[in-house]
Structure 1
Amino acid sequence: MSSLRPLPRSLAPLPDESLAGFLLRLAHHNNVSPGMIVRHTGLSTHRTALIEHISVSQQYLQTPEQAVEFARTTRLGQDEVPNLFLAPFGSRYGPLDGSLMRRPPERILHSNRDVFRHWSRFCPGCLAGDSDIERAHGGSWKRLWRLPPVFVCFTHRCFLRHSCSECGHLGLEVQGFSLIPRIKDEDLHPNQCRTVVDGAPDRLNASVCGARQDEAPTPACSEAFLETALGLQRELLEVLNPDGPEETSSIGWMIDANQYFIDLHTIAGLITLTWPAARDLVISDEHTQILEHDALRREERRHRLQGERGKFHHFHALASPAADSMAYAAATTIAHQILQSTDLRAQAMLAPVYAHLHKLQGPVKATADRMRNFPRNSPPLRSFLTRGTPVTITGIQRYATARDREWRPSPVVGGLPR
């Protein structure tokens, strides 16, 4: 029999609430530190000095034994517990599908740049909440905010923030070893920035930012840019929806829905890696300005990472999904437009990108080649990017993973199949 007793008080999870967000609210409700909740719910896998610790990988999935213990000690239903974790998204979001990525659960988030595993975007209005319990303990830090394809809030009609308006650090950014920063601090509200701005993160007397994330301004943009982003978000959420279509279109061919986001990030990554090659595909001057600014920030980050970590060339900084929600939307608008076209149209649209790729040398070219031939890309896209010619059944079936299903052209061009 377990020695852990149920907590004196619990909370009902909020819609789409993440594990980190629920632990923060539950700790605040019980007037203890999040680390104390981790210890008393059986979440910690450490039984020594790091007993008040939860690893980044644990936000993906619990073991069955942990799930039973967590449900009992938090007084949650067995059906409520899985909805705090990222694993259920795997059926719709390929980067979280262990069978597609060919990784065990404990490794699915390792070096997975298609998930914000060490931090979270956020909507200040959602964190402020609209009920008494939310006003007291904070609103929902949503699971979906950890996925790059979720970049706007429909409820508050705004782009999500990715950083604190006071210290500039990423939302709920991991400092040290634990998923929740300042996990032993019981004085911080769930909506306060927990970033240590002076001193070692594990020292209780270190200075913390403490700014209220629910009071931060939302990113500013024109109404036209926001409307375009809302339209794109609706289409991407349709693919993410568990009740959505099992297949969707990619360069004129039907593919599994969860593989679409891998294709999307591959094309968007090639666009940002070769920017400004795709400038003529941008739909407005505002999109262009955002992508120009994003390109400068990416290059600065690459140089900073290279300086911090030695000789390894951090070219992933030039191609990974952008943290900034508006920059992500600007690049993804182009990528989505390309994928929703035919292979012939996509070939014409990507011609400037290909021309730029042919001029590349060294690590940048190697990065681009890996992206084009990434084995998790859908077989139609992989054939298209590596051969540079229209897609055929023969070209698709060159790949062993493509031989166990029927491939057919998309019946719809320019939008998601109905």
Structure 2
Amino acid sequence: MEVVVECLCGKKYSVDSTTVNEFACQGCKRNLSVPDLELHKQLASLRQAWQDAGDNVKRKAAVAEQASDLRNPHALPLLQAAAQSGVREAVNAALVGLCRYAGAGQELLFGWLRQGALGVTRLVSAFKETGFPEGVDFLCDAIDAGKLKENQISECAAFLGESGQPRALATLKALRRAYPAQAGILDNALAKLAHLDESATEIPENAKLIPGRPSQAAEPARKGCMGVLLFLVLVVALAALSGCDEVKRKEFAGVLGTVGLPPVAGCEVEVYEASRFASLESAQGRIGQGITDSFGRFSIELSEANLGRPIVVVARPTTGATYLDFGAAGNPLVPFDGSRRPWVAVVRQWLGGESTVAVTPLSTLAFESLMRQPSSEVGPGPLRFDDRAVGSCNLAAASSFALVVDPAE
């Protein structure tokens, strides 16, 4: 009996199922198996239904759902066609179907993610639009197995946070420890799960080890009376100081952040109070400065006088500053020096404590857009840095790249 065997590379073969069980594709060399007669008839019916559906969106989506229900590698070419059809409902059905098909279906999906043919944001949209209940578990499994890159994780963090599921909480907490550079995105996601665990919003100890910041590790207490006496002397001294001046808090208050992705090491970073910011060529309004470490991280303390105000964070090209070019052979070091323009991020409001910020080309795009807005729309002078104007430009820049998070935070 002649049956049709279709390969993911697009080639089709007509073979005798009574004499051939498997063979190699002449195009891509994949090993192809031969379906039995019943499966051949089901697939032929679905292929014909797909063609007959024409521009009927619902019928195409129904065909994709039926193909995914087969849970068979012979249905993958049809699901691939549905996923690449551009018909949103059919694409959603195909993506969800591949997620449900453990093994070959999921591997096809991960292949698209690795190649950049599919974005995590689009996958999350399919989960939301179809109400796919297993979407959170699928993403958590993928993250735990190391299937997603750091930038892909940032794309699905908000979805995990909105899920309200304990599994998402555990995964996000592990990510917070593993990726301190994504602190802003992950903290926002974890905050939405605080009702499940009060410790959800706590900053991991390893994330507190910031260059230039004194270690918080306590010295082991001395044994015997001498240790007790020293402790009492310290308490009395602090009590005396509190009567004449406020004791400086041990908690860090300022901006923690990263420059670049890949990170830029040895880069000068300046913080400006936005209402007094004049231009990138002026030091007016500068309230703090620092330099990034080898991982692109920085910490800059700020005065409480700046609480509640918008701030501008500028990463200036610096002699000796470098980043790794992961897109080039050998991952060479690339200078971030005077031949480049500064990168900038605008934070809508500094809320005190350990506020996080990411200074990247995307946040710079948002800054440039903000500075080019006509005064007739955003208002004169400091009104340009009003929460609504800053938020609008930041989110507009993010949406241009299919992101739903503030690129500066």
Greater RCO (CA < 8 Å, at least 6 residues apart):
1
Q: TM-score, normalised by structure 1?
A: 0.25
Q: TM-score, normalised by structure 2?
A: 0.26
- Structure ID, larger Rg: 2
Q: Which has the higher strand share?
A: 2
